[in-house]
Amino acid sequence: MTGMTFLKTQEPEERLDLSALVPARLKGLSSAEIARIAIGTSRRGVVVGDVFAVSGDDPSVLRFAGGSPRFDRIGEAMAGGEITVEGDAGARLGRMLKAGRITVTGSAGMHAGSAMEGGVLRIGGDAGDFLGGPLAGETMGLKGGTIVVGGRAGERAGDRMRRGVICVAGEAGDGLGSRMIAGTIVVGRRAAGTPGRMMKRGTLILCGGAERFAPTFVDNGPADILILKVMASAFAQGEVGEVPFDGAPMRRLGGDTAVLGLGEIFLPL
């Protein structure tokens, strides 16, 4: 089998920083050198060999056989290649991803796809809080690329998002698309709290409705517009795949008028 496999040999006793395990950093290293890469975050000095059995020799395709919610920073700033995690991933999965593809079969922790600039991030299970969001102090969240979540997303998904697409099949937590600058978020089921609070521009398509909206959103009534159909078919043919809307008329809200007010939210009629 091509690629390189990191077989989890034991559950780590501390959170691990796996940001070093990206194709560009592993290229040209022998398996002994890879086994010595430090990944620990405590005084114990954990290295790759303590947690993983490494096999294979092509680091452009990486596979983690067995995941853990303690595997932080997988694929950070990756500029090309492919990573698959069979299991869960920890915090900051695919943060600042520039290109390439990351697939997680289980769930991911906080800040998955944070400040991502391109590429594709797929999470089979649930995503933690601040999906695609910025870290404290940063001015932009998701800046490009595609994030697809099979389960539910935590609070504040798409916070300060600037560009790109987030598609969540399940529910979304409080504050979806908060402070959004631009971009598109599609949610299959209900969005909790007040989605889109302080959004300047951007589009939220909430196929399962929302708990409530901030009073600074304006109801524009039903919108029978072609773009919904165009988007649905474009998504279906692209990385996002089938989406839970089909171009039928939807109710449109404009906002957040507390800020720029050029954002829009679509709801089922």
Partner 1 sequence: MLTRLKGGHVVDPANNRNGVGDVFVSDGVVVDAPTDAKAPDETIDCTGLVVMAGAIDIHSHIAGGHVNTARLLLPEWHRAFSARPGETALSKVGWTTEETGLRYAEMGFTMVVEPAMAPSSALHAHLELADTPIIDKATLVVLGNDDLMMSMIRDGESETAIADYVAWTVAASRALGVKCINAGGSAAFKENVRKFDFDDVVPDYGVSSRQIVKTLQKAVTGLGIPHPLHVHCNNLGVPGAASDSIAATIRAAEGDPLHLAHIQFYGYGDEGKRRFSSRAQALADLVNATPEVTVDIGQVMFGQTVTISSDELRQFAGSKQASPKKSVIFDHEANGGGVVPMDYKARSFFNALQWAIGLELFLLIEDPSRVFFTTDHPNGAPFTAYPDVFALLMDRGVRAKWLDALPSSVKKMTQLPELEREYTLEEIAVMTRAAPARLLGTPDRGHLGAGAGADIAVYRPNDDKAAMFGKAAYVLKDGVVVVKDGTVVRRTLGRAVTLRPEPDKAMKTRLDRYFDERYGVSSRWFEVPEGALRRDDPFEVVPCRA
Q: Is 269 exposed, middle or buried (0-12, 13-18, 19+ CB in 10 A)?
A: exposed
Nearer residue to partner 1 within complex by CB, 9 or 139 = 139
Cβ proximity to partner 1, 91 vs 185, nearer residue: 91
Please choose, out of 59-67, 78-86, 136-144, 236-244, the segment that lies near partner 1 by the rule CB under 8 A: 136-144
DSSP letters spanning 175-205: TTTTT--S-EEEESSPBPS-TTTT--S-EEE
Q: Does 43 bind partner 1 (CB under 8 A)?
A: no
Nearer to partner 1, 110 or 243 (CB): 110
* Cα 174 from Cα 160, distance rounded (Å): 14
Out of 28, 137, 226, 237, point to the residue binding partner 1 (CB under 8 A): 137
For partner 1, which residue of 43, 136, 226, 237 counts as binding (CB under 8 A)? 136
**Which of 53, 97, 40 lies closest to 74 in space, CA to CA?**
97
Binding of residue 221 to partner 1 (CB under 8 A): no
Q: Least CB distance from residue 251 to partner 1, whole Å?
A: 34
Contact of 261 with 255, CB cutoff 8 Å: yes
Residues 111-130 that bind partner 1 (CB under 8 A): none
Nearer to partner 1, 72 or 82 (CB): 72
- Identify whether the C-beta of residue 239 lies closer than 8 Å to the C-beta of residue 120: yes
Binding-site member from 13, 138, 219, 246 for partner 1 (CB under 8 A): 138
Asked whether position 135 contacts partner 1 by CB under 8 A, the answer is yes
Q: Tell me if 1 contacts partner 1 by CB under 8 A.
A: no
For residue 34, the surrounding DSSP H or E stretch is helix 31-35
**Separation CA 176–CA 125 (nearest Å):** 18
Per DSSP, the three-state class of 33 is: helix
If one asks whether residue 45 binds partner 1 (CB under 8 A), the answer comes out as no
Which residues does residue 172 pair with via DSSP β-bridges, in sequence order? Answer: 153, 191
Query: How big is the site for partner 1, counted in residues (CB under 8 A)?
Result: 5
The alpha-carbon radius of gyration of the chain (Å, integer) is 19
Nearer to partner 1, 14 or 58 (CB): 14
Read off the amino acid at residue 31. Answer: S
What does the binding site for partner 1 look like in residue numbers (CB under 8 A)?
135-139
